[in-house]
A and B are shown apart, each in its own frame.
Chain A
Amino acid sequence: MIQIEDLHKNFGSLEVIKGVDLHVKTGEVVCIIGPSGSGKSTVLRCINRLEEPTSGRIIVDGHDIMDKATNINTVRAEAGMVFQQFNLFPHMTVLENVALGPRKVRSMAKKESRTSALSLLKKVGLVDKANAYPEQLSGGQKQRVAIARALALQPKVILFDEPTSALDPELVGEVLEVMKQLAREGMTMVVVTHEMGFAREVADRVIFIDQGKIQEQGPPDQFFTNPKNDRLKEFLGMVISHL
């Protein structure tokens, strides 16, 4: 589904990503962890070219996103994204937030887009908030709407950029629950997260990025119980002693 080969990204003279290779299979749930500033969000944002890669190759669902002939908007509709800060459209109702993409990108009729938006809101448990505005929702509710908005385009993969990092602790669970449900349904997911419990329970593979490189990866059992990389051991030690 996603093939990243030798990805490099510089911000000015600062090299943030120093050669990352990553293949994500259809239906796979990959969690990316790592200290802040390690470049893990940047890798994610390169996948739908919200960040322009400096060099390397990224293939998403058969489309080379670095190729000028590729319509990036088509690729983006296939690779939904959920942001740390939700980024809901504040001037639209919850329903309009979800229905906008299908209407404008997939040219779906208004009525049809509303019906499908409602069924997605039902799925994330927010059908009663369809006519509310984002500012009337809690953080957890906003993030669930954002997930519904991404799902509305029926993407082949969803990219989650620290989806629970901006939430109050008591609201994290409801968002993770929706994500777990998606994983069970077979959605391909790449999740940048600090939620080790989620990674351990849901991920097929966990990846540790530090200093712009993948330092270690593997299935969660092995990854968490028997880490080999020293920096990963240190990182897990800090995260777990913190819990």
Chain B
Amino acid sequence: MAFQFEPAVVIETIPMLMRGLKLTLQITVGGIFFGFLLGSGVGLLKISRNFFIRKLAGIYIESIRGTPMLVQAMFLYYGLPMAIGIRISPITAGIIIIAVNSGAYIAEIVRGAVQSINPGQMEAGRSIGLTHTQTMLYIIWPQALKRMIPPLGNQFIISLKDTSLLMVIGVGELMRTGQEITAVNFRAFEVYMAVALVYLVMTISISRAMIFFENRLNTNKG
């Protein structure tokens, strides 16, 4: 029997994906939030004056960027509990993995943006008597943040898509929900098309939001 594309199945599938979508969004938002905090911290440590702190930050970044997220997920969810005996829920594990993973990339984004600010800005801040920390906070960081927006948008999109890998540790996110649906109706073509469409709508929304933020910061100067 020849394959016949049924658009109606795509339409019917989308509402069924909403439960998974909710989880995907929760994990993405949580993961990116903590990933940004982690990445900002590590990014600043990477330019610390202390050699060992710099090295430590470098080791974290290299080891996360140098290993597949799929391996990291399996290691954290299946491997670590065997070693230290703590079980965490798949959702918590998912948020941790996205945070730790995106944190490494965000650290490099933060480092690059901070270092791209003219050293004269730090000198000017110090010359009026601000401490290093105050200058960072009031002078360097606001300017660096603006330069981070395009690469951060990129990273947010990557992290959102990466949540699909979490199906391997049993997180019932969007991708896994799609897989479960195909297991029942065997309409892989239509179901995965619907899944892809949902991802696409989300990633396009993120890039639009980023353009909006960037323009807003431009008109407000800074």
Choice from B120, B131, B134 contacting A87 with Cβ under 8 Å = B120
Partner-binding segment picked from A3-11, A30-38, A69-77, A117-125: A69-77
A50 to B130, CA, bound (A): 13
- Docked-complex contact B129 and A77, CB < 8 angstroms: yes
| Nearest-neighbor residue (CB-CB) of B123 within chain A | A50
A92 within 8 A of B: yes
A76 near B127 (CB under 8 angstroms)?
yes
Docked-complex contact A85 and B138, CB < 8 angstroms: no
Q: Given the complex of chains A and B, what is the CA–CA distance between A100 and B130 in angstroms?
A: 9
Bound Cα distance from A71 to B142, whole angstroms: 26
Contact of A83 among B124, B139, B142 (CB under 8 A): B124
- Residues in B with CB closer than 8 Å to A88 are 124
Q: Are A76 and B128 in contact (CB under 8 A)?
A: yes
- B-chain residues with CB within 8 Å of residue A100 when the two chains form the complex: 128, 130, 138
Contact of B128 among A80, A92, A133, A135 (CB under 8 A): A80
Interface contact B138-A50, CB-CB below 8 Å:
no
Contact status B126-A76, CB under 8 Å: yes
Is A105 touching B221 in the complex (CB atoms < 8 A)?
Answer: no
B66 at the interface (CB under 8 A from A): no
Hey, what's the 0/1 contact readout for A127-145 against B, CB within 8 Å counting as 1?
A: 0000001010000000000
Least CB separation from A49: chain B residue? B126
A32 to chain B, nearest CB (A): 18
Q: What's the interface size class on A, roughly? A: 20 to 34
| B139 proximity list for chain A (CB < 8 A) | 89
Complex-state Cα separation, A90 to B125, whole angstroms:
12
Let me know if A83 and B120 touch, CB within 8 A: yes
Q: Is B222 an interface residue (CB 8 A)?
A: yes
Binding site for A on B (CB under 8 A): 118, 120-121, 123-131, 134, 138-139, 142-143, 146, 221-222
Measured CB to CB, the residues of A under 8 A from B are 48, 50, 73-74, 76-77, 80-81, 83, 85, 87-92, 100-101, 104-105, 133, 135, 149-150, 152-153
A-B contact pairs, 21 of them (CB 8 A): A73-B131, A76-B127, A76-B128, A80-B127, A81-B127, A83-B120, A83-B124, A83-B127, A85-B118, A87-B120, A87-B121, A87-B123, A90-B221, A91-B143, A92-B222, A104-B134, A104-B138, A105-B129, A105-B130, A133-B221, A135-B221
A73-B126, A80-B127 provided; 11 other pairs, C-beta below 8 A?
A76-B126, A80-B128, A81-B127, A85-B120, A88-B124, A89-B124, A91-B142, A104-B134, A104-B138, A150-B127, A153-B129
